[in-house]
């Protein structure tokens, strides 16, 4: 599997005139090597150059993780004295001396810490964005990746289903978030969740990225729960909105509107369709219902080894969908001071259309 991914990487680098790719610890490094490292105060860097043995620079204390690696790699380790680190970088990149290479970096991931050491060791290299290579490499999932995502969805749905019976007036958002996290782990989620759950009741549900508070749930509240799980390095990201007791008529109305928009968005995807067209479909439903100004974010985003990745489902995005791409459909309506609704599902593009990996009920459930 890794050999196939590196072969695809070679082709993408060649077509984008990139000689080498530099990666920090993170999803792309896991994708290409299977190695898990975390960012810390010590530099860690992986470099893949076409036709050369990959380079890995890392702290000595992390070297035990290399026992399971199945690819040839040139390893350079260092101790705890920062005064010695530049020398290690210089030695690792001695072949780059006076070479004018185009080196691609992940623009939202590579830190100044590693970049400074690298620039001093490879003074003639030109550092450019490698986003055009990395995003394409990871955006189309194979069957194994999709099954991991399907499992992450199932775990998330199971975790929330186990949590719902506990919800009642008087329960705080923080207490509900804590219980949901416990149930996600019991359901089989990997320890690193895609994000901390968003639990937002009543007026807080009108904030798309609310943080759980000590506010107690009240009768008549809408309750937005945005949560996800992880399985074998792949994530799910779902949202369902519930009612705590009978909600006001207008809140029921916006729920039904969002439900219709979500259904339209889930059905829209297919190979060759611009990503922006999915946003157009959901936004049209909400606009026609008179709530367009209360839909304040894009329809969705790509999903996989990161909670947010390519493709992004925003108005005007010309990127064409392709089989294997995975993304969210999450339209919402948010009435300030009153409440909000969001319904989010995880979608995979198939050869002829699309499929929802999530199937938890989207009908309004009164708790």
Q: Which residue has the higher pLDDT, 240 or 50?
A: 240
- CA 135 – CA 140 distance, rounded (Å): 9
User: What tens digit of pLDDT does each residue of 81-110 get?
Assistant: 999 999 999 999 999 988 899 999 999 899
- CA 108 – CA 129 distance, rounded (Å): 10
Cα Rg of the chain (Å, integer): 23
Neighbouring-strand partners of residue 76:
57
Q: Is 237 within 8 Å of 307 (Cβ atoms)?
A: yes
Neighbour count for residue 125 (Cβ, 10 Å): 19
DSSP letter at 115? H
The whole-number pLDDT of residue 262 equals 98
Instruction: Write out the two tokens for 360.
Output: 């938890």
**C-alpha torsion 111→112→118→120, nearest 10:** 180
Instruction: Write out the two tokens for 47.
Output: 């470099």
Mean per-residue pLDDT for 51-64? 94
> CATH: 3.60.15.10, 3.30.420.40, 3.40.350.10, 3.40.50.1980. Which one for 2-138?
3.40.350.10
- CA 69 – CA 63 distance, rounded (Å): 11
Looking up tokens 């990996």 gives: 357
Q: Is 349 within 8 Å of 341 (Cβ atoms)?
A: no
Q: pLDDT exceeding 70 applies to what percent of the chain?
A: 100
Query: Residue 237's closest CA among 272, 177, 196?
Result: 196
* Confidence check: pLDDT of 40 > 80: yes
Q: Which fold has domain 140-366?
A: Creatine Amidinohydrolase (3.90.230)
- CA 139 – CA 327 distance, rounded (Å): 9
Global confidence as pTM: 0.94
**DSSP strand E in the chain: where?**
20-23, 45-49, 55-59, 74-78, 102-105, 126-129, 198-201, 221-227, 230-231, 234-235, 238-244, 300-302, 309-313, 326-329, 332-335, 339-342, 345-349, 354-356, 365-366
* Confidence check: pLDDT of 293 > 90: yes
The whole-number pLDDT of residue 110 equals 94
- CA 345 – CA 337 distance, rounded (Å): 26
The whole-number pLDDT of residue 167 equals 97
DSSP letter at 157? H
User: What tens digit of pLDDT does each residue of 279-290 get?
Assistant: 999 999 999 999
Domain layout of the chain by residue ranges: 2-138, 140-366
Question: What value, to the nearest 5°, has the Cα angle with vertex 288 and ends 357 and 353?
Answer: 30
- CA 351 – CA 328 distance, rounded (Å): 18
User: What tens digit of pLDDT does each residue of 219-243 get?
Assistant: 999 999 999 999 999 999 999 999 9
- CA 219 – CA 229 distance, rounded (Å): 29
Looking up tokens 């299977």 gives: 34
The whole-number pLDDT of residue 69 equals 86
């Amino acid at each position: 599997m890794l050999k196939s991914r590196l072969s695809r990487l070679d082709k993408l680098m060649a077509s984008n005139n990139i000689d080498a790719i530099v990666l920090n610890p993170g999803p792309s490094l896991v994708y290409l090597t299977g190695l898990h490292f975390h960012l810390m105060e010590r530099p860690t860097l992986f470099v893949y150059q076409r036709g050369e043995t990959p380079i890995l620079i890392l702290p000595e204390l992390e070297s035990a993780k290399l026992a399971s690696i199945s690819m040839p790699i040139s390893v350079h380790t260092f101790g705890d004295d920062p005064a010695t680190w530049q020398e290690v970088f210089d030695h690792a990149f001695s072949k780059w001396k006076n070479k004018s290479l185009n080196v691609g970096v992940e623009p939202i991931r590579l830190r100044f810490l590693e970049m400074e050491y690298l620039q001093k060791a490879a003074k003639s290299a030109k550092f450019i964005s490698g986003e055009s290579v990395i995003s394409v490499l990871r955006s189309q999932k194979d069957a194994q990746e999709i099954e991991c995502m399907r499992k992450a969805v199932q775990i998330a749905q199971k975790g929330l289903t186990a949590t719902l019976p506990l919800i009642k007036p008087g329960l705080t958002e923080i207490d509900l978030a804590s219980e949901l996290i416990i149930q996600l782990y019991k359901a089989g989620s990997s320890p690193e969740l895609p994000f901390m759950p968003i639990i937002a009741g009543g007026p807080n549900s009108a904030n798309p990225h609310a943080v759980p508070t000590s506010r107690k749930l009240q009768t008549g509240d809408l309750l937005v729960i945005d949560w996800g799980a992880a399985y074998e390095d792949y994530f799910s990201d779902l949202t369902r909105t519930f009612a705590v007791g009978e909600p006001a008529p207008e809140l029921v109305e916006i729920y039904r509107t969002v439900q219709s928009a979500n259904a339209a968005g889930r059905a829209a995807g297919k190979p060759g369709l611009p990503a922006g067209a999915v946003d157009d479909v959901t936004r049209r439903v909400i606009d026609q219902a008179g709530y367009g100004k209360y839909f304040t974010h894009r329809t969705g985003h790509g999903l996989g080894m990161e909670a947010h990745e390519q493709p992004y489902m925003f108005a005007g995005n010309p990127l064409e969908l392709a089989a294997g791409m995975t993304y969210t459909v999450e339209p919402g309506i948010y009435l300030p001071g009153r409440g909000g609704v969001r319904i989010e599902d995880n979608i995979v593009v198939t050869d002829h259309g699309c499929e929802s990996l999530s199937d938890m009920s989207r009908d309004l459930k009164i708790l």
